[in-house]
């Protein structure tokens, strides 16, 4: 029969390219095995088990990534949320975005990418901004430092 651990290790190694969490990668791998068990006729040649499972897992990983991008995470209500804390949070957020609007264009664009598209890698951010991937970290640090100073001047330490 099959060495499930050895074949699963091969599938998990292939899933690293999709940057899933370890738990998600294991779930995808398990789902691929379950699909094989549900449709045993899908695998016509047992010698191609690794390739079949890897392909099935890759497809499932892509579906998971696409589904996760469409889902908008909503923060859970805090047990200590009060009307006062909500007003303070809203005022803080307003001050933050007003400060972002006063940043230079390149910094503004970077902050918006970081806030609204957190799944982007540095290489993707660099492509969006037209800069080198190696400089994204430095620009990010300068931008956040500048934003922090602006907020501190406004009393938001």
- Give residue 55's region: left, alpha or beta (phi > 0; psi -120 to 50): alpha
- List pLDDT tens digits, range 83-121: 888 888 889 899 999 999 999 999 999 999 999 888 888
Instruction: Tally Cβ neighbours within 10 Å of residue 157.
Output: 7
pTM > 0.85? no
Quick count: other Cβ atoms within 10 Å of Cβ 1?
4
Confidence of residue 141 (pLDDT cuts 50, 70, 90): very high
Helix/strand/coil for 125: helix
Is 21's pLDDT higher than 90?
A: no
**Confidence label for 66 from pLDDT (cuts 50, 70 and 90):** confident
Residue 70 is predicted with a pLDDT of: 66
- What CATH number is given for 84-153 in this structure? 1.10.10.10
Alpha-carbon gap, residue 146 to 151, rounded angstroms: 9
Q: How far apart are CA 112 and CA 84, in angstroms?
A: 27
Q: How would DSSP label each residue in 55-71? A: HHHHHHHHHHHHHHHH-
Average pLDDT over residues 127-148: 92
pLDDT band at 45 (very low <50, low <70, confident <90, very high): confident
Closest listed residue to residue 10, CA positions, set 48, 37, 63: 48
Q: Provide the pLDDT for residue 126.
A: 92
Q: Which band of pLDDT confidence, cut at 50, 70 and 90, is reported for residue 147?
A: very high
pLDDT at position 86 is: 84
pLDDT band at 4 (very low <50, low <70, confident <90, very high): confident
Q: Is the pLDDT of residue 40 over 70?
A: yes
Where along the chain do its domains lie?
4-70, 84-153
Over 70: is that where the pLDDT of 28 sits?
A: yes
């Amino acid at each position: 029969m099959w060495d499930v651990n050895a074949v699963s290790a091969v599938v998990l190694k292939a899933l690293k390219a999709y940057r899933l969490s370890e738990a998600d990668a294991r779930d995808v791998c398990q789902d691929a095995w379950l699909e094989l068990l549900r449709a045993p006729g899908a695998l016509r040649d047992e010698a191609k088990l690794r390739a079949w499972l890897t392909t099935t897992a890759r497809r499932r990983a892509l579906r998971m990534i696409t589904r996760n991008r469409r889902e908008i995470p909503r923060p859970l209500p805090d047990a200590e949320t009060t009307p006062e804390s909500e007003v303070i949070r809203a005022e803080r957020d307003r001050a933050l975005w007003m400060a972002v609007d006063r940043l230079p264009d390149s910094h503004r664009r970077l902050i918006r990418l970081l806030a609204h598209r957190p799944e982007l890698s540095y290489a993707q951010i660099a492509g969006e901004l037209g800069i080198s991937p190696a400089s994204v970290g430095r620009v990010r640090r300068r931008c956040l430092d500048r934003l922090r100073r602006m907020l501190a001047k406004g009393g938001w330490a």
